[in-house]
Structure 1
Amino acid sequence: MGDIFDIIIAVLVFTIFILLIRLAFTYKTKSEREYEEKLKKSLADEYIIDPETGAKLTLEQAESGYWVAHDNEFNTVSEKDIDKLPTEDEKIAHIALNYLKGSRNYMKIELSEIQFNVIKETKILNSYDDWSYSNPFKFEKGIVFLPVPELHGNNHYQIDYAESHVMFWVNIKNINGHYLFREKTSSEKFLDLLRNDDEIKLQNYECFTFKKSLSFILIKPIIESFKNEKGLEVELHNDNLFIKNTKLVNLSDIENIEKIIKQVS
């Protein structure tokens, strides 16, 4: 009798254990449930939004991997459609892209081979393991585009980080020099207290000199325009000024860089 009772108890314990395992694998957090709900809404409309162009695509077009966006390629994405996007990052990026697409100050272009060759030689982009870009626009003072810098792990093919930033390229008076400014890390700030050997000394930015300029009078107003800012990478190379943010493209950073450009050009 005792053996039968032990068997029944064992079966009950095993059954409860299986149910708990199933519950663990099927339980979803609040954020996961919200994500799925927004994804279902988007799919219910029978189209998705292409993150590169903002074009609305049918499910068939998205699955085929081929479509012609026509006029839709240059349209902004409505607030209603943005709200349906599954993640906050996607919403933030589309709001920023909407600003560029909807502004009369910016015109969508394709980079020429010459323009691309200038960009690909920048120290800013070459400091990453790899990069790509999308959505180039021209404006009165230059070009803006969305680079996607990548950082790889020990395995070169493993991408640890990749997201769209925003980078402005404008023409300036020729400084006949080449400098890169990158926000200092905590350790660099500490080491600078002991020995600050940067040619151009800034509290928040490390200066890398690739070619020394004798035209500091031209460099000074540019430095003054960003020295108190955070989260930027700035490169001066002869008559080119490049300014890039260091996180996901967003409207606040775009407007902030626009203010800097107005001060220096």
Structure 2
Amino acid sequence: MFACSPYPRHENFLEEVRAEVTQQAFRINHHACLTIWGGNNEIETSFDWYKESAANKQLFSVDFAELFIDTVMPAVHRPGFTDIAFVDTSPSNGPISHDPQDPYVKRWGDSGSWDQGDVHFYDYVNDAFDPDTYPRAKFVSEFGVMSLPSWHIYQQYTRSEDWNRRVPRHPSGCGTPMGMQSWLYQLWTYLTQVQQAHAYDVAISHWRRLKGAPDARTMGVLYWQLNDIWAERSVLVPAGAKQRGLFVGASDV
């Protein structure tokens, strides 16, 4: 699974990729739930993240095309396979032509464009409760608002000293003030879930309305970070805890 970083294109590596993708494509090609082949996550976008790729995008674009267009795509588009759409990366602006008879020519450019292809959207600065914060995109293939897990889960996998000091979950924020009392920390974890639930309601309702907007035609949304990769809710909630409002998980909200 390729994500968020440039990859090489020397022949030994390409042969290994070709073999693995071919094997996996044969394994899952017949599944009815398979809707699209995705080459990678955010690699075209990541060209701007690193000084080496940002300074020489042409070189890294050649590497990208050799790996995902010339190697991965033929491995999943084989005679006898189900005819399933292929995108070389997400987000992207898609190919120049969607006619299967035409050669695959990638539409390079701003991979975060709202006018073409799909969009990944995160905003840790602006008002998450304002519908105008969210892009008028064709397809939002990844977006999210962070929250913490339920308190009774959180305390099983953390230490009490972690409840009183700044423990960031993301470089953009989601830390806690110094010296926060444990009861206040419990309330804070719950409020992050309320905020997440309300933000998702605003965003998804907004995009559903944009399905009929001529300048958007938003046709789908995939949310990310519903409690992130937190532990399973494997223990019973103490009696009366939900009534006290301190143990409610995002799934309950």
The normalised TM-score by structure 2 is: 0.26
> Of Structure 1 and Structure 2, which has the larger fraction of its residues in strand?
1
Higher relative contact order (CA 8 A, sep 6+): 2
> Of Structure 1 and Structure 2, which has the larger fraction of its residues in helix?
1
